[in-house]
Amino acid sequence: MGHVKEINVLIIVFTEMRDKLRKWREDNHRNSEQIVDVGEELINEHASKLGDDIWIIYEQVMIAALDCSRDDLAWTCLQELKKQFPGSQRVKRLAGMRLEALEKYEDASKQYDSILQDDPTNTAARKRKISILKAQGKSAEAIRELNEYLEQFVGDQEAWHELSELYINEHDYGKAAFCLEELMMTNPHNHLYCEQYAEVKYTQGGLENLELSRKYFAQALKLNNGNMRALFGLYMSASHIAASPKVNATVKKANVKYAAWATNQINRAYQLAGRGTKENKCSVKAVEEMLESMQITMS
């Protein structure tokens, strides 16, 4: 009887591990240390029970292993995949990623070039080539290649977002804003894009951009009222507009109201957060004082 119970427990543990890996795959989590932990055990102890799932798990674990400098594990996974899928482009790409992890960028690039020779529309290989440029610090080239890529594959959200990040790092806020506009158009309910767009506009500065930033911080809040960055952003942009000598009394009054509303919300949020936890006293108090110190007066 005890024997059967033992096996049942093992099965439960195994299914939990397999389901965890699946969830992380579906959510595109990059929690590589955890994936390696769970995945390595699964592969070593339970390979036979995984059925066809094993191949996608090998791929997932391999990529995570590269992230954790576990070349031994990555190599093992790669060999299994090579055996099972000889000549596969997908496996070739994984081999390329391993070369990247080893900083053998020229070899990796050649690998991707050979994929593209057979299949010029292979987006994965093209994006890996751009990632190599990024890893080498060649931002200008990465930006150029990514722009070319997007002319062909205009619907690739991930690429648009990557491009916006590259532009932000180059302080090219106008172009970053353009990328985020594309993303907002195709993802109107995504509060993060609104909020990032607002941050870029705020950074660009000037009254017009500040007003735009305030609008988009407000929009982000509408889509997700828990977005603290958007809430603080609304407070700051409204405060700056109200304090500007270029605005008329009506605009000033309206922005003072927005700022006051935001202050209220911020205070409430921090009070709720601070409830019962002693260690938050520092942050909560700091916020209260900060809001006080940033207060603009209506003249």
Query: Where on the chain is the footprint of other proteins (CB under 8 A)?
Result: 135-137, 165, 168-169, 171, 196, 198-200, 202-203, 205, 213, 228-229, 232-233, 236-237, 269-270, 273, 277, 279-280, 282-283, 285-287, 289-290, 293-294
- Judged by beta carbon, residue 48 or residue 293, the one nearer other proteins is 293
Please, are residues 53 and 69 in contact by the beta-carbon 8 Å criterion?
no
- Judged by beta carbon, residue 42 or residue 220, the one nearer other proteins is 220
Return the amino acid letter for 188.
P
- Judged by beta carbon, residue 116 or residue 223, the one nearer other proteins is 223
Three-state DSSP at 224 gives: coil
Q: Which of 129, 132, 101 is closest to 116 using CA atoms?
A: 129
Q: How far is the CB of 7 from other proteins (least distance, A)?
A: 31
Please, are residues 75 and 98 in contact by the beta-carbon 8 Å criterion?
yes
C-alpha span between 176 and 167 (Å, rounded): 5
Q: How far is the CB of 137 from other proteins (least distance, A)?
A: 5
What are 23's two structure tokens? 């969830």
C-alpha span between 56 and 85 (Å, rounded): 12
- Judged by beta carbon, residue 39 or residue 233, the one nearer other proteins is 233
Q: How far is the CB of 259 from other proteins (least distance, A)?
A: 14
Q: How far is the CB of 239 from other proteins (least distance, A)?
A: 11
- Judged by beta carbon, residue 149 or residue 202, the one nearer other proteins is 202
Q: How many other C-beta atoms lie within 10 A of the C-beta of residue 234? A: 29
Q: How far is the CB of 80 from other proteins (least distance, A)?
A: 27
C-alpha span between 218 and 254 (Å, rounded): 14
Q: How far is the CB of 8 from other proteins (least distance, A)?
A: 31
- Judged by beta carbon, residue 76 or residue 213, the one nearer other proteins is 213
Q: How far is the CB of 292 from other proteins (least distance, A)?
A: 9
Q: What is the largest CA-CA distance in the chain?
A: 83
- Judged by beta carbon, residue 76 or residue 209, the one nearer other proteins is 209
What are 170's two structure tokens? 């180059």
Sign of the Cα pseudo-torsion (176, 182, 184, 190, in order)? negative
Q: In which element (H, E) is residue 153 found?
A: none
